[in-house]
Amino acid sequence: MLKLPIYMDCHASTPVDPRVLEAMLPYFTERFGNAASRTHRFGWEAEEAAEGARKKVASLLGASSREIVFTSGATESDNLAIKGIAEAYRDRGRHIITVCTEHAAVLDPCRRLEAQGWRVTFLSVHPDGLVDLDRLRSAMGHDTVLVSVMAANNEVGVLQPLAQIGTITRERGALFHTDAAQAIGRIPFDVNALNIDLASLSAHKLYGPKGVGALYVRRKNPKVSLAAIIDGGGHERGLRSGTPNVPGIVGLGCAAEICGAEMADESRRLQALRDRLLHGLTRNLAGIDVNGSMTDRLPNNLNVSFAGVEGESLLMGIGDVALSSGSACASATAKPSHVLKAIGREDDLAHASIRFGLGRFNTEEEVDYVVEKVTAVVRRLRDMSPV
């Protein structure tokens, strides 16, 4: 039986998998110790649990456990990567390259460094959302210390060519950071195959809890130096002080383990649901444009512009379906999406865009309901429009 409301906003957040919650619960109650307490059993149990989770996260990334630093989420990880590299390598160069379609968690730290005297290059993208590799090569100089390009865009789901970018940065002697919050757990991701030096992730994007994430920091070939941005106790090998969030860390580890085991089948199922959604909408409605590449794209993402319809009005009309008109971090602003503007969408189409983020618990029945509901609301709004 169909249960309302329906959730299809999994790029904003995902529900905690019941298996993840079950793994976390003991660490709120009987195993509540501080993982930094090394003198009694409660601390030892907590530390053992955290280290076990660290191995599971590392395994999902093709990394070693000593390369995983636990944080409060991908935003903190991005800040630690960008600001930490800037401070550690400022004597080598003061140039950073990123992309104009990045999440604010990358763009804002870069702008802060720019205000502090760093030179930051914001690369444009092609109409399909992919970065221009020739422009990347041209932008790199002897003083470029970091290139930060997200793995998968949080709005249009476009997958950037990480392997090629990693080859370019390695050849030029720059470090390569990727905000991989939307990609890890949804597509295969190997830091060594991709020549990635730093990678950010967040548990709540892969069916884990909010408030916990991690940063991968390469330890060899090359060994990455990083300055801490939070001081106060030297936790996480001095890179991130603060009492470890053991229940959250356990949840992240469990979520990572599940993704590693089930990702291939889940991705195929979600892509089939995504295609069913797209085919249903295009069968019922004219004036639909898909934003971003359909070839290089997350399997669960669909971002669509409905000509002649204002996105916020559409969202209000389909109140029993949770969707988004863009990044959850910018949903309170009336400005058109900077991502859609970057790929060439005019303001009217940018404002007419809806992001569908399918997830682990969505069904064909839900997809069919959403197709019919969106179709009905779009038709009604178009009939009401004076245009």
Q: What is the pLDDT of residues 182-196, one digit of tens each?
A: 999 999 999 999 999
In a domain, 1, yes or no: no
| CATH assignment of the domain containing 350 | 3.90.1150.10
* Residue 51 domain boundaries: 18-258
Handedness of CA 34, 40, 45, 51 (dihedral sign): positive
Q: Give the contacts of 36 (CB within 8 A, at least 6 positions apart).
A: 43, 47, 233, 235, 243, 244
* Strand stretches in the chain, DSSP E: 6-7, 68-71, 95-99, 119-123, 144-148, 175-179, 198-202, 213-217, 288-290, 301-306, 321-322, 353-357
Q: Is 329 a catalytic residue?
A: yes
Same domain, 210 and 328: no
Same domain, 140 and 153: yes
User: Considering the chain, what is the average pLDDT of its residues?
Assistant: 96
Quick one: CA torsion of 371, 372, 378, 379, rounded to 10 degrees? 140
3-class SS at 202? strand
Same domain, 170 and 300: no
Same domain, 233 and 201: yes
Same domain, 279 and 303: yes
In a domain, 205, yes or no: yes
User: pLDDT tens, 306-318?
Assistant: 999 988 999 999 9
Q: How confident is the model at residue 1 (pLDDT cuts 50, 70, 90)?
A: confident
Q: What percent of the chain has pLDDT over 70?
A: 97
Residue 328 has pLDDT above 60, yes or no: no
Considering only CA atoms, give the Rg of the chain. 21
**pLDDT attached to residue 13:** 98
Same domain, 285 and 189: no
Indicate which residue of 10, 110, 254, 329 is catalytic: 329
Token pair recorded at residue 120:
């930051």
Domain termination residue (choose one: 225, 258, 291): 258
| CATH assignment of the domain containing 153 | 3.40.640.10
User: pLDDT tens, 111-123?
Assistant: 999 999 999 999 9
Q: What percent of the chain has pLDDT over 90?
A: 94
Give percent helix, percent strand, percent coil of the chain, each to the nearest 5: 45, 15, 40
User: pLDDT tens, 108-154?
Assistant: 999 999 999 999 999 999 999 999 999 999 999 999 999 999 999 99
Same domain, 240 and 182: yes
Domain termination residue (choose one: 217, 237, 258): 258
Same domain, 243 and 270: no
Same domain, 289 and 348: yes
In a domain, 302, yes or no: yes
Residue 329 has pLDDT above 60, yes or no: no
> 155: burial class by Cβ within 10 Å (0-12, 13-18, 19+)?
buried
Domain termination residue (choose one: 258, 275, 294): 258
CA–CA distance, 205 with 51 (Å, rounded to integer): 21
User: pLDDT tens, 160-179?
Assistant: 999 999 999 999 999 999 99
Residue 326 has pLDDT above 80, yes or no: no
Same domain, 220 and 282: no
Q: How confident is the model at residue 28 (pLDDT cuts 50, 70, 90)?
A: very high
Same domain, 151 and 35: yes
Residue 327 has pLDDT above 90, yes or no: no
Same domain, 275 and 343: yes
Q: Which residues of 356-373 are buried (b: 16+ CB within 10 A; e: fewer)?
A: bbbbbebeeebbebbbeb
Q: How confident is the model at residue 331 (pLDDT cuts 50, 70, 90)?
A: very low
Residue 334 has pLDDT above 90, yes or no: no
- Can you give the pTM of this predicted structure? 0.96
Number of domains the chain is built from: 2
